[in-house]
Amino acid sequence: MSGYRIGGQQEKHLSSSISPLAGKPATSAPLVDVARLLAAYRDLVPDPAVPEQRVAFGTSGHRGSSFDRSFNEAHVWAIVQAICEYRKNDGVDGPLFVGIDTHALSEPAFESTLEVLAANGVGTLISKGGEFTPTPAVSHAILRYNSGREHGRADGIVITPSHNPPESGGIKYNPPHGGPADTDATSWIAARANALIEGGLREVKRVTIDVARRADTTREHDFLQEYVADLEHALDLDAIRGASVHMAVDPLGGAGVHYWAAIVERYRLDLTVVSDTVDPTFSFMSLDWDGRIRMDPSSSYAMQRLIGLKDGFDVAFACDTDHDRHGVVTRSAGLMPANHYLATAAEYLFRHRRGWRSDAAVGKTVVSTALIDRIAKRLGRPLLEVPVGFKWFVPGLYDGSLGFGCEESAGASFLAKDGSAWSTDKDGIVAALLAGEMTAKLGRDPGEIYKGITHDLGEPASARIDAAATHAQKAKLSKLTPEQVTSKTLAGEPVIQVQNRAPANNQPIGGIKVISANGWFAARPSGTEDIYKVYGESFKGRDHLDRILEEAQAMVDAALAGS
């Protein structure tokens, strides 16, 4: 195996190979043909007999590309009609908030969404002046509207494929709790949407976009000003301003591109917005590990522009296209690996949020660092370990029993300072600005704070490997069982546990996790892309991690043999 670097750490890859274009300007490779992409959205019709062209909700919504007939007009019409029927059956009769990011396919998908919502008579709130809308702004708006209401509750749709490549499109549903819909909801919506497509869309109610925009049911909502005005309830912005923390943000041409200037103006922060360019080709990016464009703020390959800010600011940060993920650069550590920053955030928040419940838990997914387990134990806080997917954190963030929930892929959210719900979906904006609060309150940047934590609790060496996988391979990997793991040792240590279900809720993790006293690995297919992921971690150093990864490779290769 050869190595590559993420955030200053030596990382290993298994079956994947790093493109020679990784880290180079996006213009080093062909950019997406936006006109052709938009034409394909309108002109190409999915074949429901082809599995890859059916509606399928991954960890957060349905995603695909119009080129592949996996995200086309028919998909959106059918999904939104299914959502209209689902919310009616569920007794949701308040307004529906609609958010949109800056991917090229998001605008036509937004129009398709409005066409169906208006035809179904659903009260719809869209962003004032056509402003883009981050995922957390939609979640926060739902929670704010529903506070104290027993009837007429609101829900939402967010049109985004998150950090996925420019040719991608996506749509997800957030029920009245404000977070991602659970599996029961998404399974029903997907099944109904596929039935509608199979029926030639005859049962889909729809009007023209001009009629939809003029409909009495379509109204504007100022997501930006509402979110920005409330931000002081989630963060100590006075401390950041008082300490004159010198910060920079790269919005990556995403949905929060204009939110940052509004935050600076309202709270008078020393925050430089690196760029407010919006470009559907995302040509300002650097290429990710496989030579493709991804707006992934946790990838050192994709974040070359952000990493270049290391020595010019106390902290710098970026958010992905819908601003539900974050990446943080510090003077001391450069681009912090997601697990490092998440562990640091957990330690800080539970020591500085006096308004939270004393029994509020620390939440993490099964593939997040075990350092968080050690932090929770030291804090005397319960640990909530769930499968990948932010939906599992929603109940706790909603009722205040979970203070902080995080995913290894740089997604997190936490309670407002008084312990109330802030956003039950991932919020990259507050997670990024928290870096400034930490620096202001502790006089050390998050990289330095992390070093102090690992001095006390041990420093993990970790890796995440992404490799291409077919649908068949992903299906096989997701169905692995503990009985298929025959080895009794992992890198020389006895295997303590083999999991295919999460400890907190006994839900399937969609793969397998093998644990020893000082290390673990997990293998699972991606819920959003045609790749699989292998995660590994060791508290005994890099050599021990290498051995863990070698054994993980053998297991994954054996599982996928013959696919």
d(C-alpha 177, C-alpha 156), whole Å: 10
Determine, yes or no, domain membership for 1.
no
CA torsion sign, 339 to 10 to 320 to 18? negative
d(C-alpha 521, C-alpha 76), whole Å: 37
Determine, yes or no, domain membership for 59.
yes
pLDDT of residue 1: 30
Residues 503 and 518 in one domain: yes
Determine, yes or no, domain membership for 195.
yes
Portion of the chain with pLDDT greater than 70, in percent: 97
Contacts of 137 (CB under 8 A, 6+ apart): 99, 223, 224, 226, 227, 256, 259, 323
CA dihedral (208, 214, 215, 216) in degrees, to 10, reads 180
Residues 217 and 329 in one domain: no
Determine, yes or no, domain membership for 172.
yes
Structure tokens at 283: 């040509």
From 181, 206, 221, give the residue that closes a domain.
221
**Active site includes 162?**
yes
Q: How far is CA 382 from CA 123, 176, 415, 443, in A?
A: 41, 27, 16, 28
Whether the pLDDT of residue 10 is over 50: the answer is no
Determine, yes or no, domain membership for 517.
yes
Structure tokens at 65: 């590309």
Owning domain of residue 39? 28-221
Residues 469 and 432 in one domain: no
Q: Check if the beta carbon of residue 515 is closer than 8 Å to that of residue 493.
A: no
d(C-alpha 145, C-alpha 184), whole Å: 24
Render pLDDT for 403-421 as a digit per residue (tens, 0 to 9): 999 999 999 999 999 999 9
d(C-alpha 24, C-alpha 265), whole Å: 34
Render pLDDT for 347-398 as a digit per residue (tens, 0 to 9): 999 999 999 999 999 999 999 999 999 999 999 999 999 999 999 999 999 9
Determine, yes or no, domain membership for 36.
yes
Determine, yes or no, domain membership for 23.
no
Residues 178 and 194 in one domain: yes
From 457, 472, 492, give the residue that closes a domain.
457
Under the banding of pLDDT at 50, 70 and 90, the label for residue 464 is confident
pTM for the model stands at 0.94
Quote the mean pLDDT of the chain: 94
Render pLDDT for 227-243 as a digit per residue (tens, 0 to 9): 999 999 999 999 999 99
Strand arrangement, sheet containing 334-335: 271-273, 247-250, 315-319, 326-330, 334-335
Q: What is the DSSP letter of 482?
A: G
Residues 149 and 191 in one domain: yes
d(C-alpha 106, C-alpha 169), whole Å: 6
Whether the pLDDT of residue 553 is over 90: the answer is no
Domain count, the chain: 3
Cross-strand pairs, 315: 247, 330
Residues 399 and 258 in one domain: yes
- Which CATH number characterizes residue 479's domain? 3.30.310.50
- Which CATH number characterizes residue 215's domain? 3.40.120.10
139, 162, 168, 462: which one is catalytic? Answer: 162
Rounded to 10 deg, the angle between the 428-442 and 338-352 helix axes is 60
Structure tokens at 433: 């600005």
Choice between 365 and 18, residue whose per-residue pLDDT is larger:
365
pLDDT of residue 555: 80
From 408, 434, 457, give the residue that closes a domain.
457
- Mean pLDDT computed over 271-287: 98
